[in-house]
Structure 1
């Protein structure tokens, strides 16, 4: 792997996982030393992060991790609803029913595990991996490479937002049920229900983000 690719992957993961929170200055000297690479490949990596929208030039301070605000998340969800509802609808028309019946069963089981061990990190990690499986199954069933490409960038930003919910077991259990409904509608070959279930899930997710965002602002943990 090229040094710039490695730096990009490491920085992207650090941003998504909040090890580099919004507003963090990505200084060339500091980051090149931390990652063990020269400044030239680091600049390439920072350029790619900027193109992704995860970083941006800021007032002569170099490159910083972009903020997450209610406004930016609202815009993200507007795009997400258009893309994901269409993907779910297409998947319902073109799916392998067995794949999505299995996913529904897995989400039902995941909800039970989160109920039993709401603070258990492996249960959460397994749940996020299951969500990724559903995303991949919908992409494959929808069979539209342009739609899949557009969703890829949206999901990259969504991963940062989603981390705000990981300390809320009740919301995770709700999302497991919502994802089970989406998978079940796709398995049944009902495009209208699949799109509607996706829209409900996205609405509730945005409501949850706005609630958490306001709490963090009041606690002075978020700008």
Structure 2
């Protein structure tokens, strides 16, 4: 892996996992030393992050990690609905029904992953990620998939804002199962509707969580 790719991947993960918080200045000397790369590949990595909107150039302060506002979340979900609903419909038309039926079965059993001895819920998120990947592959549209992958960088970051609420994650697993079921049934309209419902509930939960945190932190 090239040094710039390595630096980009490390910084992207640190930002999306909230190890580098909004407003953090990414000083070249400090980050070069931390990541073990020279300043030229680091600058290339920072340029990619800025192009994606994860960082921005803030005048004399240098490159800074961007914030995520409620307005940003609304815009992300507007785009997400457009892309994911279309991808689900295409997957229903073109996908392997047996593969999605198997995913549905796994997702119906997902509450066990959420309430088990896995504080990071990594097994559940891995399963949800496999559904995303299966939909991407079944949709068979390279440009749509590229747009979704660029969007998901931001969605991973936003997901961390929602807190790992057990009840919401269990509900989300059932919603994912309904999407997989509709695709397995080769029903594009039902796949779109199931995706719309999931996104609406996810956005409502996320915004309620953010509003509650704001009140707690600002009295």
TM superposition score category, shorter chain reference = over 0.9
SS in 2 for 1:136: helix
**Aligned counterpart, 1:217:** 214
Per-residue deviation, 1:111: 1.9
**Aligned counterpart, 2:149:** 152
Per-residue deviation, 1:213: 1.1
Contact 1:54 1:65 (C-alpha < 8 Å) held by counterparts: yes
Per-residue deviation, 1:140: 0.9
Aligned length, in residue pairs: 218
Contact 2:162 2:210 (C-alpha < 8 Å) held by counterparts: no
Matched, 1:108 2:90: no
Deviations 1:62-91 (A, max 9, x none): 111111110001001000000000000010
**Aligned counterpart, 1:128:** 125
- How far, CA to CA, are the matches of 2:155 and 2:207 in structure 1? 14
**Aligned counterpart, 1:83:** 83
Deviations 1:134-186 (A, max 9, x none): 11100111100010011111111101011223421111111101000000000
TM-score (norm 2): 0.95
Per-residue deviation, 1:51: 0.8
SS in 1 for 2:21: coil
Residues 134/68 of structure 1: CA separation in 2 closer, same or farther (3 Å cut):
same
Per-residue deviation, 1:101: 0.3
Q: Which range moves more in the overlay, 188-197 or 157-166?
A: 157-166
- How far, CA to CA, are the matches of 1:120 and 1:4 in structure 2? 33
Once the two structures are superposed, the pairs formed by residues 134-145 of structure 1 within 5 Å of their partners are 134-145=131-142
**Aligned counterpart, 1:53:** 53
Matched, 1:181 2:201: no
- How far, CA to CA, are the matches of 1:62 and 1:198 in structure 2? 40
- The partner residue of 2:187 within 187, 190, 213 is 190
- How far, CA to CA, are the matches of 2:41 and 2:138 in structure 1? 37
**Aligned counterpart, 1:165:** 162
SS in 2 for 1:56: strand
Per-residue deviation, 1:209: 1.1
- How far, CA to CA, are the matches of 1:13 and 1:219 in structure 2? 28
